[in-house]
Amino acid sequence: MPQDKFDFRFRGGRLCLDFAATLGGRYREPVERLAVPADLGRWFRLALSLPADLPAQPRGLDDARALREAVHRLVHPATRAKPARSDVELLNSWAVHPDFAPELSPDARSVTLRSARTVEAGLATVARDAIDLLTGPWLERVRECAFSDCSLMFVDTSRPGQRQWCDMKACGNRHKVRQYRKAHAR
């Protein structure tokens, strides 16, 4: 079943990249997937496998969007070489909050996240993930999907490091269809 354009995308391989993907289609018609506070609460439940949506208020939504755009600029291949001081400061201001702590289950095979279930803890978790990505070995493997309508970023963990698409079925195929149409347009 094709995804609705407002469905969340989890193709980035990193929490902070999936968070950045809550604003989609950045180059043509932006799709705001965090339209109301409840969307943010639901995103955290899905992204972190929480037992329930986080309670979110309009203020939290504003904070989330601001952090999201800072993360996007800091990580994106086109802008990451020149980090803005204000983006770094915003990231740090969230990373300083307590994030979710992992708790191992008694059988030692699954994990639950514990903390006060707040948007602040969620944004702290995103900010810390972004810092880890920015200062670790995978940053240079962060790419943007090659399909021209798609602005999703992902970590290319493939051995050759030549992954082009956020998702082969979605964007790879759409690209092929477009190339085919162009070639047969005359």
Q: Contact positions toward Zn ion, by CB under 5 A?
A: 145, 147, 150, 152, 166, 171
* Helix, strand, or coil (residue 174): helix
| Shorter beta-carbon distance to Zn ion: residue 27 or 180 | 27
Q: Is 158 exposed, middle or buried (0-12, 13-18, 19+ CB in 10 A)?
A: exposed
CA-to-CA dists, residue 93 to 103, 128, 155, angstroms: 25, 10, 25
Shortest spacing between CB 126 and Zn ion, in angstroms: 21
Task: Tell which residue, 71, 62, 76, 75, has the closest CA to residue 90.
Answer: 71
| Shorter beta-carbon distance to Zn ion: residue 94 or 147 | 147
| Shorter beta-carbon distance to Zn ion: residue 30 or 58 | 30
Shortest spacing between CB 105 and Zn ion, in angstroms: 35
Shortest spacing between CB 35 and Zn ion, in angstroms: 21
Task: Tell which residue, 56, 14, 10, 13, has the closest CA to residue 35.
Answer: 56
| Shorter beta-carbon distance to Zn ion: residue 9 or 128 | 9
CA angle centred on 110, ends 17 and 33, rounded to 5°: 30
Shortest spacing between CB 26 and Zn ion, in angstroms: 11
Shortest spacing between CB 87 and Zn ion, in angstroms: 24
Which residues are 155's β-sheet partners? 142
Are 88 and 73 spatial neighbours (Cβ–Cβ below 8 Å)? no
| Shorter beta-carbon distance to Zn ion: residue 83 or 172 | 172
